[in-house]
Structure 1
Amino acid sequence: MTTLSVDIPVLETERLILREPRMSDFEAHAAFAASERARFVGGPFDRWGAWRGFSSAVGHWMLFGYGFWVVEDKASGATAGRVGVIKPEGWSEPELGWHIYEGFEGRGLAHEAALMARDHAQGPMGFAPLISHIDPQNTRSRALAERLGATIEREGELLGHPVLIYRHAKVPA
């Protein structure tokens, strides 16, 4: 029998823990995936689609050694979203992405999580400045990218949909 394993670093901010995905996180992910909030990431999805997205995030860590962390709210212990670096089939380069779940938006958690993930990716993980593919109509995500210091590099297309490709600034060493 072959054993697969991956070491997923645990990162902490003042209010958040960025950690490995667990089965106990699936219900929060499935609720997000089924909601209108998932429209900018190809959704809404039925439960099977949510499962594929959840399990592929785990597989991404196994195959590449990086991926989406689960964002856990320290105060409540609840699953608040996910953030990280992905490069699925068809992506031109690694992308910094984020999803904050209902009930956790509007408190700066996405900024806090994305900042930690970006800095860790460009620091210890050795990534060059990352991109983010953002739907032109996703004003909240665009505002977050800009708050992180990213700027529009070009227009593009991802999975048949127009996107703005934001380039994140190089993090000082």
Structure 2
Amino acid sequence: MTVILSPTPVIETERLILRAPQAGDWPAWAEFAMDGRSRFVGGPLDREKAWRAFGHVIGMWVLRGFGTFVFAPKAGGPALGMCGPWYPEGWPEREIGWTLWSPEAEGKGYAFEAARAALTHAFGPLGWDTAVSYIDPANARSIALAERLGARRDDSAAHPGTDPCLVFRHPAPTGEYVA
């Protein structure tokens, strides 16, 4: 049996398809979540906690009506990571977050392409007027991506209590940085 969250948007970019998570994404997510590469998003996790974290990702779609997209190459192949709207209970602001699951996907612009599409979705169909990204100060690649997307560090913004944490505010479609 295949269970699909419905209705959830599917976004296509030049090279990627962004879609809601599916059961078949679990093995790739688990491998990432249990690896040291997940250290900037609360990992590494044991398999049981990785399962719960993946359920959290799926649950966001049900509880909020939006969630983080899994992205994969249009040409086919395994999922490369997750990116998109994130707003769990207790978060001070709505976030655009991203992870690349495979080291082979790094340095190819996939996260940038997915994040740009996710921001367009958040500011468009979701009607957001502001978005931030919460980033560990040691995550230089993620900071560089936020800056490439046009985000600016906002030291006056609240963060979700995960220390250490920097807040990067994304420009609205008008070009303004709305807090």
Q: TM-score, normalised by structure 1?
A: 0.92
Identity of aligned residues (%): 47
Task: State whether structure 2 residue 127 is matched by structure 1 residue 131.
Answer: no
Contact in 2 for aligned 1:18/1:69 (Cα 8 Å)? yes
Task: State whether structure 2 residue 118 is matched by structure 1 residue 91.
Answer: no
Report 1:8-157 matches (<5 A): 8-102=8-102, 103-154=104-155, 157=159
CA shift in 2, pair 1:95/1:15, >3 Å: same
Query: Match of 1:108, as an amino acid?
Result: G
Contact in 2 for aligned 1:129/1:171 (Cα 8 Å)? no
Which of structure 1's runs of 4+ aligned residues deviate more than 6 A? Answer: none
How far 1:149 sits from its partner (Å)? 0.1
Contact in 1 for aligned 2:85/2:94 (Cα 8 Å)? yes
What is the aligned-residue RMSD (CA, Å)? Answer: 1.7
Tell me how far apart the structure 2 counterparts of residues 123 and 168 of structure 1 sit (CA, whole Å): 14
How far 1:129 sits from its partner (Å)? 2.0
| CA deviation profile, 1:16-71 (whole Å, cap 9, x unmatched) | 00011111100000011011111011100111111111111111100101111111
Higher alpha-carbon deviation: 95-104 or 142-151: 95-104
Contact in 1 for aligned 2:10/2:18 (Cα 8 Å)? yes
How far 1:157 sits from its partner (Å)? 4.7
Tell me how far apart the structure 1 counterparts of residues 146 and 55 of structure 2 sit (CA, whole Å): 26
Tell me how far apart the structure 1 counterparts of residues 5 and 98 of structure 2 sit (CA, whole Å): 24
Task: State whether structure 2 residue 147 is matched by structure 1 residue 164.
Answer: no
Is there any run of 5+ residues in structure 2 with no aligned partner, and where? none
What count of residue pairs does the alignment treat as equivalent?
170
How far 1:86 sits from its partner (Å)? 1.0
Bigger proportion of residues as strand? 1
How far 1:75 sits from its partner (Å)? 2.5
Contact in 2 for aligned 1:19/1:69 (Cα 8 Å)? yes
